[in-house]
């Protein structure tokens, strides 16, 4: 409950935040604090300094570019994502999933930037970003770069971000035309996913044209169930069950007090079938 000693700085701007990060190897950004602070209180994380970006209001909010991408500021809270009309219209799976994160308090504090940067394989929004082929915009001392979600998640709590980089924005392809579902299997309403499955399905002529399947908590990073995606591409809706049986191919699910690795594999197959079916029925 009592973190180790740390310094605290308030960033006045994005540039200031980068400057502060760049000057201190052991500094960490503080956004909503709902992943970082619990770790600090258990003394599992011991940053020498926190750089608080919570007041950079320019980083919060959703805007609709003219193109195919929705632009979401890194500091946008889960609660705003869940209730934002633009997100609800253009990216309903994201709005829906944001509404499933943690509990009310968590949703009012936690941010999408923090969720992605944390690299927690049990995080829901990371799976959605990966499933929707989002782009993550990061800024560092050398300027800005855009990282594809597929390149972003590197390992257990590990991302492509450099220690002196900051996510400013997440760009999400609009998916209003697609069928979608996110099934979060959890013991209690406020728990992380034991296993989560995202399905985004494009259908044509009563069949499946293409499907994107994302998995939460089935390995050290969020994953795409590529074997299922391949099996579903151009397939008939009768083949969902058979395709879903491949959901755990290439995964390495954890074993913990919530479930064994085997049971997670089983769940991923059952839930993938259900997610695709639910998507098709939407």
Partner 1 sequence: MSVTERTSKVIGTSQLRKEDAELITGRARFVDNITVPGMLWVGLVRSPFAHARINGIDVAKARELPGVVAVYTGDELEFAAPLFMAWPINDEVKNPPHHPLTKDKARYAGDPVAVVVAESRALAKDAIELVDVDWEQLPAVTDIRAALEPDAPIVHEEFGTNNAGSWILERDSPVPRRGPTAPFFDDPQLVKIKQEYRLARLIPNAIEPRGVVVDVNAPMGEYTVYSATQIPHILRTTLTITCGIPEAKLRVVAPDVGGGFGSKLEIYPEDAICLALARKLGRPVKWIEERSEGYLATLHGREMIQEIELAATRDGVLKAVRVNLTASMGAYLRLVAPGIPMLGAWLYHGCYECDAYDFQYTNVFTNNTFTDAYRGAGRPEATYAIERSMDALARELGMDPVELRRKNFIAKDKFPNYTIASGLTVDSADYHGTLDKCLEVLDYDALRAEQKARRERGDRKLLGVGFSTWNEMCGLAPTRVLAALNYGAGGWDAATIEFMPTGTVRVVTGVSPHGQGSVTVFAQVVADQLGVDYDDVEVLHGDTQVSPLGMDTYGSRGVAVGSVALHRAGEKIIAKARTLAAHELECAEEDLEFEGGNFTVKGTDRSANIKGLAFNSWTAHNLPDGMEPGLGATELYDPPNFSWPNGAHCCVVEVDPDTGSVDTVRYIAVDDCGVQLNPMLVEGQVHGGVAQGIAEALFEEARYDDEGNLVTGTMTTYLVPGPPELPPFEVHDTVTPSPTNAMGVKGIGEAGTIAAPPAVINAIVDALSPLGVKNVERPATPERVWRAIQEARS
Ligand X SMILES: Cc1cc2nc3c(=O)[nH]c(=O)nc-3n(C[C@H](O)[C@H](O)[C@H](O)COP(=O)(O)OP(=O)(O)OC[C@H]3O[C@@H](n4cnc5c(N)ncnc54)[C@H](O)[C@@H]3O)c2cc1C
206 binds, among partner 1, ligand X, none (CB under 5 to 8 A by kind): none
The answer to whether 87 and 12 are in contact (CB under 8 A) is no
Q: Are 77 and 109 in contact (CB under 8 A)?
A: yes
User: Quick check: 30 and 54 in contact, CB under 8 A?
Assistant: yes
Residue 2 interaction partner, one of partner 1, ligand X, none, beta carbon < 5-8 Å per kind: partner 1
- Residue number, 175 or 216, with CB nearest to partner 1: 216
Among 22, 52, 191, 249, binds partner 1 (CB under 8 A): 191
Minimum distance from CB of 39 to partner 1 (Å)?
Answer: 11
**Which residue, 152 or 192, is less far from partner 1 as judged by CB?**
192
Burial class (CB within 10 angstroms; exposed 0-12, middle 13-18, buried 19+) of 50: buried
Name which of ligand X, partner 1, none residue 231 binds, using a CB cut-off of 5 to 8 Å depending on partner kind: none
Report the residue count for the chain.
Answer: 282
Site string for ligand X, 107-126 (x = CB under 6 A): --xxx-xxx-xx-x--xxx-
Closest by CA to 59, choosing from 46, 71, 43, is: 71
Number of helical (H) and strand (E) elements in the chain, helices listed first: 12, 14
List of residues 6+ apart from 241 with CB closer than 8 A: 273
Examine residue 42 and tell whether it contacts partner 1 (CB under 8 A): yes
CB within 8 Å of 16: residues ≥ 6 apart? none
Instruction: Tell me which of 57, 66, 205, 257 binds partner 1, using CB under 8 A.
Output: 257
Distance, C-alpha 165 to centroid of its chain:
18
Decide if residue 101 touches ligand X (CB under 6 A).
Answer: yes
Among 71, 258, 275, 278, binds partner 1 (CB under 8 A): 258
For binding to ligand X (CB under 6 A), which residues are involved?
Answer: 28-36, 38, 74, 101-102, 106, 109-111, 113-115, 117-118, 120, 123-125, 161, 166-167, 190, 192
User: Residues interacting with partner 1, by CB under 8 A?
Assistant: 1-2, 4-5, 42-43, 185, 187-192, 194, 256-260, 263, 266-267, 270-271
């Amino acid at each position: 409950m009592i973190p180790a000693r740390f310094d605290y700085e308030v960033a006045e701007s994005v540039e200031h935040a980068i400057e502060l990060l760049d000057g201190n190897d052991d500094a960490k950004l503080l956004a909503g604090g709902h992943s970082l602070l619990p770790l600090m209180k258990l003394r599992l994380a011991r940053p020498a300094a926190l750089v608080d970006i919570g007041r950079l209001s320019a980083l919060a909010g959703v805007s609709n570019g003219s193109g195919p991408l929705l632009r979401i500021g890194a500091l946008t809270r889960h609660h705003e994502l869940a209730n934002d009309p633009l997100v609800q219209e253009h990216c309903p799976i994201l709005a829906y999933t944001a509404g499933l994160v943690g509990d009310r308090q968590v949703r009012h504090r936690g941010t999408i930037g923090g969720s992605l940067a944390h690299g927690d394989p049990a995080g829901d929004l990371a799976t959605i970003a990966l499933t929707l082929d989002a782009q993550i915009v990061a800024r560092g001392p050398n300027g800005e770069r855009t990282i594809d979600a597929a390149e972003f998640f590197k390992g257990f709590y590990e991302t492509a971000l450099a220690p002196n980089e900051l996510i400013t924005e997440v760009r999400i392809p609009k998916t209003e035309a697609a069928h979608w579902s996110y099934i979060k299997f959890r013991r209690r309403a406020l728990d992380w996913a034991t296993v989560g499955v995202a399905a985004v399905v494009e259908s044509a002529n009563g069949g499946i044209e293409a499907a994107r399947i994302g998995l939460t908590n089935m390995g050290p990073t969020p994953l795409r169930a590529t074997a299922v995606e391949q099996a579903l591409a151009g397939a008939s809706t009768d083949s969902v069950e058979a395709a879903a049986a491949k959901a755990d191919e290439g995964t390495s699910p954890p074993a913990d007090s919530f479930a064994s690795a085997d049971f997670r594999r089983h769940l991923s197959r059952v839930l993938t079938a259900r997610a695709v079916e639910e998507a098709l029925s939407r």
